[in-house]
A = this chain, B = another copy of it.
């Protein structure tokens, strides 16, 4: 099966149908986080640092880094954030911006083979981002929208995905270095957002033979109990073949669903990861008549 290789200076990770799902931490993103935005704009990266460490501790194997702050010097902030995060963690990063100059600056300072987030199917974007991907030898997330916007027809979105993969190959970028994002719309606003995403993902796997990724939290936007809804979405997307997502690993339901789905896809041999995460130690004290100190639960 196909696989995508991503690396930092010291760590290499693999994305693919025969590997555990790639959890990419979503937290380092000032969108909707006013305090973080203000701090990052002022060159204060202490919260970025905390978010990086907390997400890695929670099980993120990669981190997304976004510095999209209105009126701020995004390229510089993104580059500084990447350098800082690479100095305190080993996990590879996803360089996330809609500004080409920010992507370029990020790639310039990044040590290893990054995942670039993102290119769309718009001609103008393809023509500037794909040469960057080729030049830096990184991988890239291709989002299935183009000049006409985000189609509600999954066949049109798949056609955009196909165009992105083909165009990347024209630039000499190997197929396995393109991940498709089917674009996950909020289920509260669009009744068939789930079915559409699952269908596009399945076609990407079966017809294009590429990995897929998405921003998972969007599916439950505006709904109560967002974490269990996101968790169920991820399980279903994984059953459809999705191999990575940008998500919040600090949400227990989300992490549990990903671990369980890894097991159910045969990517957790002997259920080792599941058992390590979920087992409750045998209550020996109880069996022997009590009185002994209970071991700490290892749940979560």
CB under 8 Å from chain B, chain A span 275-292: 275, 278-280
Which of B188, B198, B256, B280 makes the CB contact (< 8 A) with A228?
A: B256
Does B223 lie within 8 Å of A271, measured CB to CB? yes
- Could you say which residues of chain B place their CB within 8 Å of the CB of A188? 271
Q: Does A4 contact B (CB under 8 A)?
A: no
Oligomeric state, in copies: 2
**232-250 of chain A: CB within 8 A of chain B:** 232-233, 235-240
Question: With contacts A188-B271, A233-B260 known, is A194 near B228, CB below 8 A?
Answer: no
Report whether B191 and A269 are in contact in the complex, using a CB–CB cutoff of 8 Å: yes
Contact B275 A239, beta carbon cutoff 8 Å:
no
- Return chain B residues, CB-CB under 8 Å to A223: 271, 274-275, 278
- Chain B residues with CB under 8 A of A274: 223-225, 229
How far is it, in angstroms, between the C-alpha of A118 and the C-alpha of B198 when the chains are bound? 32
Contacts of A265 in B (CB 8 A): 194-195
Q: A260–B263 Cα gap in the complex (Å)?
A: 21
Scan residues 72-89 of chain A and give those whose CB is less than 8 A from a CB of chain B.
Answer: none
**Chain B hits for A278, CB < 8 A:** 223-225, 228
Q: Which residue of the partner chain B has the closest CB to A191?
A: B266
**Residues of chain B with a CB closer than 8 A to A219's CB:** 264
Known contacts being A191-B269, A239-B198, A271-B188, is A264 close to B232, with CB within 8 Å? Answer: yes
Question: Cβ of B264 and Cβ of A194 under 8 Å apart?
Answer: yes
Per-residue interface assignment for chain A, residues 165 to 178, with 1 indicating a CB less than 8 Å from any chain B CB and 0 otherwise: 00000000000000
The smallest beta-carbon distance between A98 and chain B, in angstroms, is 27
Query: A2 near B: Cβ within 8 Å?
Result: no
* Nearest chain B residue, comparing its CB with the CB of A238: B236
In the complex, chain B residues whose CB is within 8 Å of the CB of A270: 191
Name the B residues within 8 Å of A191 (CB-CB): 266, 269-270
A205 at the interface (CB under 8 A from B): no
For the complex, what is the distance from the CA of A225 to the CA of B263, rounded to whole Å? 13
A235 to B228, CA, bound (A): 11
A187 at the interface (CB under 8 A from B): yes
Q: A229-B264, A236-B238 are in contact. List 10 more A-B contacts (CB 8 A).
A: A187-B271, A219-B264, A223-B278, A224-B275, A225-B256, A229-B260, A229-B274, A236-B236, A236-B239, A236-B264
A/B interface sample: 17 pairs, CB < 8 A: A188-B271, A193-B264, A195-B266, A223-B278, A224-B274, A224-B278, A224-B280, A228-B260, A229-B263, A231-B260, A232-B257, A233-B260, A233-B264, A235-B239, A236-B236, A236-B261, A239-B240
